[in-house]
Structure 1
Amino acid sequence: MVLPGVYAPQEDTALLAGALSDESLPPGAAVLDVGTGSGALALAAAARGALVTAVDMSWRAVWGARLNAARSGLRVRVRHGNLFTPVHGETFDLVLANPPYVPAPLGGRRPRGAARAWDAGHDGRMVLDRICREAPALLRPGGVLLLVHSALSDPGLTVGCLREAGLKAAVIRRRRIAFGPVVRGRERWLRQRGLLAPADNEEELVVVRAELPV
């Protein structure tokens, strides 16, 4: 169930879910799902016996994720807050992140309402850079970060930042998809900025995997 105004699971969710299915996840593993939305990824991890915490800054998303967990008969701790703030001081075996990542012609304004789920500043990295800075401290030795975003927001920079933080990082999955309504609505602006080439008629999504060495 997806409440009005909450980001519904889409191709990026499915791509990240595929990466999650490839991870070794023993029962009792501590998993964090930030930007949980409807809770789809949190529930997928909980179904494998993980101890899952889900976080979202939208109260509607929090209520929806709690409802979906209850309906599924799965235990998920759902917290309201901005990214990692609600789990300050905790560490995890796996962190999942599907943050806002679409470049937006907002100037100095911050996104509001439902747009907070996809608009991510002029370069698409308003939240990605914070994840790169803060996520390494949340990982236990051998812990893994799985992060999905668009090629429009520079996966190479994401990988480089995570490596500088001492993690082993690489792009492990890619998928090209048709432009969704958000990208279509700003396609001309993206082409003017050179983020889309004249011949591009699809968007590429990537999953970055980063692991903290033991």
Structure 2
Amino acid sequence: MRLLRLLRLPGVYRPQADTWLMTRAMREARLPDGARVLEVCTGTGALAIAAVRGGAGSVTAVDRYLPAVLSARFNTRRYPVEVRHGDLSQAIDGAPFDVVLANPPYVPCESSHDAGGAAMAWDAGADGRRHLDCLCDRAFELLSPGGTMLVVHSSLCGIRRTVASLRDNGLKTSVVARAIEPFGPVLRGRVDFLERAGLIAPGQRHEELVVIRADRTER
């Protein structure tokens, strides 16, 4: 994946540490060959391509940011990937899926308004959970019986909250990958807010990234 050359229009989220952590978790999860996959917040389409290379039969990829949709459509043009412009509601139309992959916006921000432009890829409200909570609430209906969801996010927006929410919505859930990463430019630019909000300790300049796995097990 690191050698994959991708078109990335201005403002489109660049594949980075959370992308590579998710790719590794997806590979280790041994997802079924021929699976119908949904990727939420696709960006460049890097994870969609990784899913196809890992044996997926088809991928539906969704993003709210039009430049990301155009980038992903170009990058996945040789793969069985359909890229849709829209939010999670556009994904529900094709549900259920065997596998759901999600790298949603999860960076806490001071503004209560929806982000525009490039910030759509990371800004997620005061607690970083504006999109995560919606995803957790819809996870069960997105998955086929026996299906699997993998979602990556930062410890800054609450690992335990995601695990508890997915379990409360009927899924078997665990953390399957972790990595400590230094703050990037976005987080470095808002450390004062993060400290005031109690989301980081004074002087903290790193975050833990996690991949959480949720399975729809039928009893």
Shorter-chain TM-score bucket reads over 0.9
Q: Which portions of structure 1, spanning 4 or more consecutive aligned residues, are displaced by more than 3 angstroms? A: none
Q: 1:205 aligns with which of 193, 203, 209?
A: 209
Deviations 1:6-52 (A, max 9, x none): 11101011111111111222331111101000000000111233111
Distance 2:206 2:139 in 1: 30
Indicate which of 180, 187, 196 corresponds to 2:184: 180
- 1:114 aligned partner: 118
Kept after mapping to 1: 8 A contact 2:95/2:141? no
**Does the CA-based 8 Å contact 1:66-1:78 persist in structure 2?**
yes
Q: Which residue of 1 aligns with 2:100?
A: 95
Q: What is the TM-score normalised by the length of structure 2? A: 0.93
Output one character per residue of 1:53-73: Cα deviation in whole Å (capped at 9) or x when no partner: 111111211111111112xx3
Structure 2 unaligned regions, length at least 5: 1-6
The whole-number CA distance in structure 2 between the counterparts of 1:178 and 1:58 is 26
What is the CA-CA distance between 1:89 and the residue it aligns to?
A: 5.0
Q: SS of 2:130's equivalent?
A: coil
Partners of 1:99 and 1:52 lie apart in 2 by 17
- Amino acid of the structure 1 residue aligned with 2:184: G
> Matched residues in 1 for 2:113 and 2:46: separation?
30
Letter of the aligned partner of 1:81 in structure 2?
G
> How far 1:87 sits from its partner (Å)?
3.6
**Mapping for residues 94-173 of structure 1, pairs under 5 Å:** 94-106=99-111, 108-173=112-177
SS for the counterpart of 2:88 is: coil
Displacement after TM superposition at 1:84 (Å) = 3.8
Residue matched to 1:41: 47
AA at the equivalent of 2:130: M
Give the Cα separation in 2 of the matches to 1:17 and 1:162: 21
Match for residue 18 of structure 1 among 18, 21, 24: 24
- Which residue in 2 is equivalent to 1:59? 66
Among 79, 93, 116, which residue is 2:84 paired with? 79
Please give the alpha-carbon distance, in whole angstroms, between the structure 2 residues aligned to 1:48 and 1:189. Answer: 40
CA RMSD of aligned residues (A): 1.2
Letter in 1 for 2:9: L
Conservation of the 8 A alpha-carbon contact between 1:142 and 1:212: yes
What's the CA shift string for 1:88-139, capped at 9, x where partnerless?
2521111000000000010x32211110100000110000000000121010
* Larger mean Cα displacement after TM superposition, 21-30 or 40-49: 21-30
8 Å contact 1:80–1:86 — kept in the other structure?
A: no
Q: Provide TM-score, normalisation by structure 1.
A: 0.95
Q: CA deviation at 1:207?
A: 0.8
Match of 1:69 in 2: 76
Question: Equivalent of 1:192, from 191, 196, 199?
Answer: 196
The aligned length equals: 211
Structure 1 position 83, deviation (Å): 2.0
Q: 2:209 aligns to what SS in structure 1?
A: strand
